[in-house]
């Protein structure tokens, strides 16, 4: 029983810690821009549920720490419904209530009566705060540790594999894929993994001579301790460089920020590529993860980081650095998800504001209600699909199917 509780804590604590930090920064983005525009804010909460700690600042905003660490929220004064985009009738009613309570012109301090461009910036500030967080975390890592570049040197070629058919030989150094310069072997692995069925052109250095080889990755089902069971592209290459070829690049603060921007862009680009392949039928979507998968990944990388050394101090340092990297990646995903034009998400609000800017009136209440319901259904469907993936990757249904 004690072992089970320990395993549970190993997976849930890192997940909750990362999630709370990311969502808090997201909500802080909304809050800071709203405060800059003079919007009245009732509450900023880290966590949900009954407050453990609470204080009210001089602006009348309650700062609260909830007992349930599943993120947080910011509540603007006058929020009337879940969509937070009242129609004309709702705005008229809100204006009357505000004036009756606080006097004439008091509504100017309320979010819903701010100019459209200010409301749009406040809404967009949440996702962009996630992107800024990602860049900052990557920059801290690159500034503190630099980056280790391992050349993509071919150590082995599997028999009867796409790599063998393409003519790869041990000792080849991959210098480019589809014309893009390769500096690290992980770049090759990521590109191949998301290219099943698509021919790739590899430029290799073979004893000082440049050779172009074409190989088409084939889909394989693999299992690892972090992701569970997933299907990805492989060409049958084993990559390993001589230690003398490995180099560490150091960055000054400006270069570290630039590298952080580049890394965040690469993560976002990989996400967009994968989603695009899902819509074109080239991927099944089995790599999409929900809370279970994210928690498993957080626990898995924490265990791997701790197991890398026996020194308690180094273990703690490895865990912190690994979770910082993980938080940076997840933050990009949450920022991107919130920008999708789905009602109830920030992107849906921006879509409503775009309509309002063109039509010069808010979206009608019945349309908002329909959009809200459709948005909830889409999110629920996405969550169910991601949870199904998580359970499939962990072999639950196979286990249940084998019960007598």
Beta-ladder partners of 72: 46
User: In sequence order, what E strands does 198-269 have?
Assistant: 200-206, 209-215, 218-224, 228-234, 237-239, 247-249
- Report the chain's mean pLDDT, rounded to a whole number: 83
pLDDT at 165: 95
Q: Which residue has the higher pLDDT, 162 or 222?
A: 162
Given a cut of 50, is residue 374 above it in pLDDT?
A: yes
- Mean pLDDT value of segment 3-32: 79
Where residue 84 falls (left for φ over 0; alpha for ψ -120 to 50; beta otherwise) is left
Given a cut of 50, is residue 178 above it in pLDDT?
A: yes
Q: Is 296 helix (H, G, I), strand (E, B) or coil?
A: helix
Phi, psi of 245, deg, nearest 5? -85, -20
Q: For residue range 187-240, list pLDDT tens digits in order.
A: 999 899 889 999 999 999 998 999 999 999 998 887 766 666 777 899 999 998
How confident is residue 86, by pLDDT bands cut at 50, 70 and 90? low
Q: Which residue has the higher pLDDT, 63 or 301?
A: 63
In the set 27, 107, 187, 283, the catalytic residue is: 27
Q: How far is CA 232 from CA 95, 189, 214, in A?
A: 55, 10, 18
Given a cut of 80, is residue 50 above it in pLDDT?
A: yes
Q: Is 76 helix (H, G, I), strand (E, B) or coil?
A: strand
- Mean pLDDT value of segment 377-401: 62
The pair of structure tokens assigned to 148 is: 């280790």
How confident is residue 4, by pLDDT bands cut at 50, 70 and 90? very low
pLDDT at 181: 94
pLDDT at 402: 37
Q: Which residue has the higher pLDDT, 395 or 304?
A: 304
How confident is residue 12, by pLDDT bands cut at 50, 70 and 90? confident
What is the CATH code for 148-249?
2.30.42.10
In this structure, of 92-96, 187-191, 266-270, 346-350, the range with the lowest mean pLDDT score is: 92-96
In this structure, of 103-107, 157-161, 179-183, the range with the lowest mean pLDDT score is: 103-107
pLDDT at 5: 58
- Mean pLDDT value of segment 272-291: 76
Given a cut of 50, is residue 329 above it in pLDDT?
A: yes
Given a cut of 80, is residue 140 above it in pLDDT?
A: yes
Q: Exposure of 30 by Cβ count < 10 A (0-12 exposed, 13-18 middle, 19+ buried)? A: buried
Q: Which residues contact 194 (CB under 8 A, 6 or more apart)?
A: 232, 233, 270, 273, 274, 277, 283
- Mean pLDDT value of segment 314-330: 83
Given a cut of 60, is residue 400 above it in pLDDT?
A: no
Phi, psi of 37, deg, nearest 5? -95, 5
Given a cut of 70, is residue 296 above it in pLDDT?
A: no
Given a cut of 90, is residue 332 above it in pLDDT?
A: yes
Q: What angle do CA 269, 294, 17 make, to 5 degrees?
A: 105
- Mean pLDDT value of segment 298-323: 72
Work out whether the CA dihedral 248, 250, 251, 256 comes out positive or negative.
positive
27 noted as active-site residue: yes
pTM metric for this prediction: 0.84
């Amino acid at each position: 029983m004690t072992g089970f509780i320990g395993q549970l804590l190993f997976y849930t604590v890192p997940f909750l810690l990362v999630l709370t930090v990311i969502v808090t920064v997201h909500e802080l983005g909304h809050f800071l821009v709203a405060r800059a525009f003079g919007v009245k804010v009732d509450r900023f909460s880290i966590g949900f549920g009954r407050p453990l700690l609470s204080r009210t600042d001089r602006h009348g905003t309650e700062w609260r720490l909830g007992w349930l660490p599943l993120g947080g929220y910011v509540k603007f004064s006058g929020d009337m419904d879940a969509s937070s985009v009242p129609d004309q009738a709702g705005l008229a009613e809100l204006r009357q209530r505000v004036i009756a309570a606080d006097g004439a012109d008091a509504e100017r301090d309320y979010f819903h009566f701010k100019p459209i461009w200010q409301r749009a910036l406040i809404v967009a500030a949440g996702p962009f705060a996630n992107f800024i967080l990602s860049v900052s975390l990557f920059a801290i890592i690159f500034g503190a540790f630099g980056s280790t570049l391992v050349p993509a040197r071919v150590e082995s070629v599997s028999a009867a594999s796409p790599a063998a058919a393409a003519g790869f030989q041990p000792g080849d150094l991959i210098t480019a894929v589809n014309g893009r310069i390769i500096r690290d072997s992980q770049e090759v692995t990521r590109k191949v993994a998301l290219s099943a069925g698509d021919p790739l052109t590899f430029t290799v250095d073979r004893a000082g001579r440049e050779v172009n080889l074409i190989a088409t990755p084939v889909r394989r089902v693999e299992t690892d301790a972090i992701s569970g069971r997933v299907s990805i592209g492989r060409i049958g290459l084993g990559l390993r460089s001589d230690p003398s070829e490995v180099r560490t690049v150091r960055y000054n603060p400006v270069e570290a920020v630039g590298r952080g921007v580049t890394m965040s862009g690469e993560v976002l680009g990989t996400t967009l590529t994968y989603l695009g392949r899902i819509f074109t039928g080239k991927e099944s979507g089995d790599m999409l993860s929900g809370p279970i998968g994210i928690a498993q990944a957080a626990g898995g990388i924490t265990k791997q980081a701790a197991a890398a050394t026996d020194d308690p101090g180094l273990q703690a340092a490895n865990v912190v650095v690994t979770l910082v990297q993980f938080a940076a990646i997840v933050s990009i995903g949450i920022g991107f998800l919130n920008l999708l034009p789905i009602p109830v998400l920030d992107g849906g609000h921006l879509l409503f504001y775009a309509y309002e800017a063109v039509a010069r009136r808010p979206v009608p209440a019945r349309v908002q209600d329909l959009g809200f319901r459709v948005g909830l259904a889409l999110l629920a469907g996405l969550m169910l699909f991601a949870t199904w993936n998580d359970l499939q990757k962990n072999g639950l249904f196979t286990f249940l199917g084998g019960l007598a």
